[in-house]
Amino acid sequence: MQIAIASGKGGTGKTSLAVSLFLANADRSRLLDCDVEEPNCHLFLKTRFVSRSSVERRIPLLNPDLCKHCGKCVEACQFNALAEAGKAGILVFEELCHSCGGCSLVCPTGALQETPLKMGAITRALVAEKAELITGALAIGHTETPTLIRAVKKKQPDPEVEFTLIDAPPGTACAFATAVEHADFVLLVAEETPFGLHDLKLTLKALQKKGLPFAVILNRMRPGFSSVQEFCKEKNYPLWLQIPESRDIAGTYARGGTLLDAMPELQESLRLLLDKCAEELLCNRRN
């Protein structure tokens, strides 16, 4: 099953949780780093590089000899990626192109041919020689985040494992939506701050629109602060794990360590967490 680890606000502990979940379940899980604008799961893992493949998108290439300057492509483009510049003919702005292929479709002379442009790469690596980490990284200057996230998620599982963990990008926009798309379950990491609660609410709105089942993981829990807990209680949302605010966790993280390094006692809870996700999936299917 696919489990996405998401949050609205950045820096709530998505990667911390994802990496530790992955390590605690190394025998039965794979981790996809879908925060492709700045993937960082690998920083916390001892990995052995396996392979790297490019991800391409298609952009129109103009053959000026065939172009009759009819302007149909400019009219068809919904993204202003093509322009008619008088006697200079048609100009292509590839950075604005969304690779829809519309321009080459409407071109009556075949002057626009779709050609591949490298937009990023996917890296496969192994942790402890068995657990697979797949990392998507967008090339500098490229902005087509959802396209690359889809490519990462499409990578065929090898070998087949029980749980595919997805470290999602922050926010509630396209990148987040693509990362949680088709997930069987979403673990929402929220931090106990006013900003954390605000963004949790935004993320919940987005998830509920998609009808995705979820549970909340509370991070940076501090005595005297309980706004997220109260919110979950009031709405009857499942709150599955609470991680305390701790200088030790922060220090370990800063040295490249994981939540599990700082709190080895979490091992069992992190295994149970995935079992719980599987149970929820079964219950949902039965219903």
Partner 1 sequence: MKIAFSTSGNTLESLLDTRFGRCSQFLILDTETKDYEILENTQNLNSVQGAGIQSAQTVLKTGAEALVTGHCGPKAFKVLHAAGIAIYLAENRPIHDLAEAFAAGKLALLTDADVEGHW
Within 13 A of 50's CA, how many CA atoms are on the CB side?
Answer: 17
| Shortest distance (Å) from residue 78 CB to partner 1 | 9
The residue among 98 and 155 lying less far from partner 1, judged by its C-beta, is 98
Using CB atoms within 10 A of its CB, is residue 28 exposed (0-12), middle (13-18) or buried (19+)? exposed
The binding track of 96-115 with respect to partner 1, each residue x by CB under 8 A or -, is x-------------------
| Shortest distance (Å) from residue 88 CB to partner 1 | 4
Residue 87 contacts partner 1 per CB under 8 A:
yes
| Shortest distance (Å) from residue 119 CB to partner 1 | 17
Instruction: Give the number of other Cβ atoms within 10 Å of residue 134's Cβ.
Output: 23
Of residues 51, 65, 86, 140, which one binds partner 1 by CB under 8 A? 86
Residue 93 contacts partner 1 per CB under 8 A:
yes
Q: Which helix (H) or strand (E) holds 50?
A: strand 47-62
| Shortest distance (Å) from residue 96 CB to partner 1 | 5
Of residues 85, 128, 174, 282, which one binds partner 1 by CB under 8 A? 85
Residue 88 contacts partner 1 per CB under 8 A:
yes
Contact 51, 156 (CB under 8 A): no
How far apart are the C-alpha atoms of 224 and 218, rounded to whole Å? 14
The residue among 82 and 216 lying less far from partner 1, judged by its C-beta, is 82
| Shortest distance (Å) from residue 95 CB to partner 1 | 9
Q: Which of 33, 42, 38, 30 is nearest to 2 (CA)?
A: 30
The binding track of 55-84 with respect to partner 1, each residue x by CB under 8 A or -, is -------------------x----xxx-xx
Residue 174 contacts partner 1 per CB under 8 A:
no
The residue among 141 and 224 lying less far from partner 1, judged by its C-beta, is 141
Sequence-distant (≥ 6) Cβ neighbours of residue 38 within 8 angstroms = none
Q: List the interface residues with partner 1, window 225-264 (CB under 8 A).
A: none
Contact 119, 36 (CB under 8 A): no
Number of residues that bind partner 1 (CB under 8 A): 13
Q: Which of 132, 131, 127 is nearest to 152 (CA)?
A: 132
Helix axes 194-210, 227-235, angle to 10 degrees: 30
| Shortest distance (Å) from residue 169 CB to partner 1 | 20
Residue 50 contacts partner 1 per CB under 8 A:
no
Q: Which two tokens stand for residue 70?
A: 């009819």
Q: What angle do CA 114, 120, 123 make, to 5 degrees?
A: 130
| Footprint on this chain of partner 1 (rule: CB under 8 A) | 74, 79-81, 83-88, 91, 93, 96
